[in-house]
A and B are shown apart, each in its own frame.
Chain A
Amino acid sequence: MKAGELLARLTGGTLLLSLYLFLYAPIAYVIYVSFQKDLNWPFPPSWTLAHYAALGADQTYREGLWNSILLGVGSAVICTAVATMGSIAVLKYRSRWRALMVVIFLCPLFVADLLVGISNLLFNRQILNLPGNMGSAMIGNAVHCTSFAFLIMLAQLSRYDWRLDDAAMVFGARPLRCFFEVTLPLIWPAMLGAFLVSFILAFNNLEISFYNLGAIPTLPTIAWGSLRFGLGGELFALAALVNGVVLGAFVVMYLLMRYRIVSFGHRE
């Protein structure tokens, strides 16, 4: 019996490792290439920092990075806000509209990125007479991420004890104060999760952003536009830097968890 459990655990762990290998091998390749003279045929290695220097000298990529961050943060704020409210509504209150609301919140899952992109493009252009702009791209990405944020909130809050809120209300707290002093301190890890996932998805979204941004460059649209002439080395360098920052953030999170400074919602 024990041996069977150990075997299951080993298999699971090995598969998780294989997934990480599969997911990160292409990224490792991108980082490796960012240090190579020849982008298309980087073997045997001939190391250089030229792409990083070019990246520092070129304004376009900084602008793209900034726009990507703006797009990611804007979308993530919108969808975390509506998803938090929606998930609290669905979990806390009984209503005859509940099933309908859940279905509406899950609708974006059924529509591929490409369709969100082109339908918003045609809708804005044909009906609202609106050219591509940052706001439309933000909204398009936020719609797409709303379901993700909603599901993440739902999964993490489904065991939240709403009697805590009732208790606070008994002692006279108004709903808003109750939210900020009782609910928020308990649900912020879930909100952070929803925010992060939405941010990551919007930050690098290509298909929704491409059709709705007009001429505003973000990192993925720059990459798309430069394909015709071959990807610039600066893009590889920038991707390597972004991954460096992400890795740094992961190390910090690990240390915070390791020394139990912040548990990110985990209860022993």
Chain B
Amino acid sequence: MATEIASARGQLSPEARFLLLALPGALFVVAFLILPMLSILVFSFWRTESYNLIPEWNLGNYAILFTTPTYMTFLLRSVLTAVAVSVVALIYSWPIAYFMAKHGGRYRLLLSLGVAAPFFTGVILRITGIQGIMGPVGLINMGLMNFGLPPISFLMYTPTAAAIGIAYLFIPFMVTAIYLSLLNFDFELLEVAKINGAKAWRAFFEVTLPLNWIGTIIGLVLVFVPALGDSITARFLGGPNAASFGQVLSLQFGETGTWALGSAMGVVLFLVSSFVIFLMWRSVNLRRSGFTGREG
């Protein structure tokens, strides 16, 4: 109908309107995300000399990365931490998001903003807060020692402590993504499943989860990507045995000034996260996700 009216008035076609609305944002992303990422891909094949990039093409940066065992250890550690944090966040966030969407009533927005509001406090202060609570001389351990109990050693500068910190920072993304997906989920469908004799668990795994799987995948991406690229949490909570790939990456842009090597590390980081996201996306069945139902 809109088309007829538009053409009757000699206005733009829907295709042209689509492009008029979508292109500004798309060009924005291309100019300020995709071009810079392509530029570090180029720089990763250059070399650095006294804080300057020299355009001499070589594979040296990648050779260093893949032949130095410590870099591979950092990468592997980051991947394992990111996977573990994502899985824990997924299991923890689902019931929370479900509760907010189904029982939040008119306070839903407030409940969901409550999950986002911690971001008003800077990352460094929040991590300092975490340290103050669970660090070696933090509230928990000093409290335990006050009662003559031994301190909890896994909270003291370990990879586990870093993982808890990462989960702390990024769980809100997962909750929000699943919550947003559930906002458009028709809970009546569960009643239908029940009437047809499905048990609650079966209804969840065959109706709710598949229909919200895209939102869940987005949540997983939102946790996995920053968790993999984490540099701050590992530095403050992890101690010497938890150095992450992101931490070493950011070093290349700080003290050492080896930008070409840092670029190569950035490319590797991006490729690893893209590969994991690709694996996750393969689990999406568009027909069962309900996505095709909305097409047109």
Q: Chain A interface (Cβ within 8 Å of chain B)?
A: 4, 8-9, 11-13, 15-16, 19-20, 22-30, 33, 41-43, 78, 81-83, 85-86, 88-90, 92-98, 101, 104-105, 107-116, 118-123, 126-127, 139-140, 142-143, 146, 150-152, 155-156, 158-159, 163, 165-166, 169-170, 175, 189, 193, 196-197, 200-201, 203-204, 206-207, 211, 219-220, 223-224, 227, 231, 235-236, 239, 242-243, 246, 250, 253-254, 257, 263-266, 268
Task: Check B147 for interface membership: any CB of A closer than 8 A.
Answer: no
How many angstroms from the CA of A189 to the CA of B25 in the assembled complex?
Answer: 21
Query: Does A223 contact B125, Cβ atoms closer than 8 Å?
Result: yes
Say yes or no: A120-B126 contact (C-beta < 8 A), given A19-B96, A26-B133, A155-B183.
no
Which partner residue on chain B sits nearest A105 by CB separation? B25
Task: Check B195 for interface membership: any CB of A closer than 8 A.
Answer: no
Query: Does B109 contact A126, Cβ atoms closer than 8 Å?
Result: no
Number of inter-chain CB pairs below 8 Å: 299
Query: Does A29 contact B129, Cβ atoms closer than 8 Å?
Result: yes
Name the A residues within 8 Å of B108 (CB-CB): 266
Task: Give the interface SS of chain B, mostly helix, strand, loop or mixed.
Answer: helix
Per-residue CB contact flags for chain B residues 226-255 toward chain A (1 = under 8 Å, else 0) read 101101100000000000001001100100
Interface size class of B (residues with CB under 8 A): 35 or more
* Additional A-B contact list (8), CB under 8 Å, known A104-B26, A120-B36, A155-B183: A27-B121, A43-B139, A82-B28, A112-B273, A118-B250, A123-B36, A166-B1, A263-B106
Say yes or no: A118-B33 contact (C-beta < 8 A), given A85-B24, A250-B117.
no
How many angstroms from the CA of A30 to the CA of B124 in the assembled complex?
Answer: 11
Name the B residues within 8 Å of A265 (CB-CB): 109
Chain B 52-105 residues near chain A, CB threshold 8 A: 53, 92, 95-96, 98-100, 102-103, 105
How many angstroms from the CA of A43 to the CA of B135 in the assembled complex?
Answer: 14
Which partner residue on chain A sits nearest B35 by CB separation? A123
Say yes or no: A115-B269 contact (C-beta < 8 A), given A206-B232, A224-B124.
yes
Query: Does A13 contact B253, Cβ atoms closer than 8 Å?
Result: no
Per-residue CB contact flags for chain B residues 116-144 toward chain A (1 = under 8 Å, else 0) read 11111111111111101100010100100
Task: Check B279 for interface membership: any CB of A closer than 8 A.
Answer: no
Which partner residue on chain B sits nearest A193 by CB separation? B109
Name the A residues within 8 Å of B269 (CB-CB): 112, 115
How many angstroms from the CA of A105 to the CA of B24 in the assembled complex?
Answer: 11
Query: Does A9 contact B124, Cβ atoms closer than 8 Å?
Result: no
Say yes or no: A114-B29 contact (C-beta < 8 A), given A126-B53, A166-B1.
no
